[in-house]
Amino acid sequence: MTPPDRAPLLRSADVRTLVLFSGLVVLVVLLAWPSFVGRLHYARTRAELRAIRDAAKVAELSSVGKLFTTLARLVGPAVVNVTAKRRIVIVADEIAALRGGGLTGATDEVVGSGVVVAADGVVVTNYHVVARSDAIEVALADGRRFAADLLGADAATDLAVLRIDARDLPTAQWGDSDTVEVGEMVWAFGNPFGLERTLTYGIVSGIGRRGVVGNPLQEFLQTDASINPGNSGGPLVDVHGHVMGITTAIVGRSNTGIGFAIPSNTARVVSEQILANGHVERGYVGMALRPVATGGPGAEVVAVEKDSPAALAGLVPGDVVRSFDGDEVPDPAALVLMLTRARVGTEASLEVERGGTTRTVPIRIGRRPRDL
């Protein structure tokens, strides 16, 4: 008798076994896949980091580091410490003081920074560092100390020019602050808290900052480079080592990340005028201004001084000044700065809107009275 055919049963069992085995393989793969993918990703990331690290060793990051040290060596020798001494009279006995006695004296010191701008001993610093001082001392980067003469100062821009009896000094070069853009890297040199020749780094956070200290003749560069008491008068330099500003003010007490510097073009012109004349001459045309009623750019003339350059040019109340020598006037404060920076005795042109029509008005720049 022929046994029954079991081939179909064996084939069915084989299929079940194969399906079960395949399911186990799929399960193992699903469980192991994330780990496998993670290892591949980590290996690729590690390879990328190794490549970046190797490149940094060769060029990129090492060159950035060298930039900092190069600037420190280039500009550092031209940065000085400025100490201004003031004698303070203290009334020890009011009754005796009325009779000419009972007075004792004390000395107050203000410490700031400065920068050498001419090899024959010319130093630029802040006016508020040396104001009302009886003696000024300048300490050079090489350790030498000199008594300094105050050649002149300009309280309106907070700048002062000193001279020391020294020759062949290392100098810093002026840059063009009109080319500065927000985001550019800058470095601040100075003596914060008396820590001589400190270098801090940041960017230009803003330009054309006006009204910071309530003086309409002051306009600042804003930076987040650390500026602290003692930095006043030190240089703010760009990536080429050019002086783009003179640090002068901070918001808050210190370390707030908001500092201000006098633009180099202002500092350079003021220092050159002090060297030439002992004081600063500013342009003046004799008109009062206010914002345009519509809120747009320009400056509306409110009043015109009799026999002033503005009156001689034919300007009248109600005129709206749109531009000065081809430069757009965004607001009255900007026009005041433009006029005060214009060279006395030169002729300029104003684009003036009157009664819906625009005309070009020539005007001769006068000399601003010293008491304004």
Q: What gap in Å lies between CA 9 and CA 278, rounded to an integer?
A: 116
Residue spans of beta strands (DSSP E) within 194-298 = 198-210, 219-223, 235-237, 243-250, 259-263, 283-284, 287-291
The sign of the CA dihedral 245, 248, 249, 253 is positive
Run of H or E including 148: strand 145-154
Nearest to 166, CA basis, from 139, 133, 136: 139
Q: Which two tokens stand for residue 20?
A: 């079960």
For residue 158, indicate whether it is catalytic: yes
Among residues 154, 158, 224, 319, the one annotated as catalytic is 158
CA distances 264 to 1, 169, 186, 209, 342, Å, are 117, 20, 13, 14, 16
232 is catalytic: yes
> Dihedral, CA atoms, 109, 228, 214, 342, nearest 10 degrees?
90
Catalytic residue among 113, 128, 177, 319: 128
Report how far residue 61's alpha carbon sits from residue 104's, in angstroms, rounded to the nearest whole number. Answer: 59
Choose, from 177, 226, 232, 271, the residue flagged as catalytic: 232
**Which amino acids are annotated catalytic?**
128, 158, 232
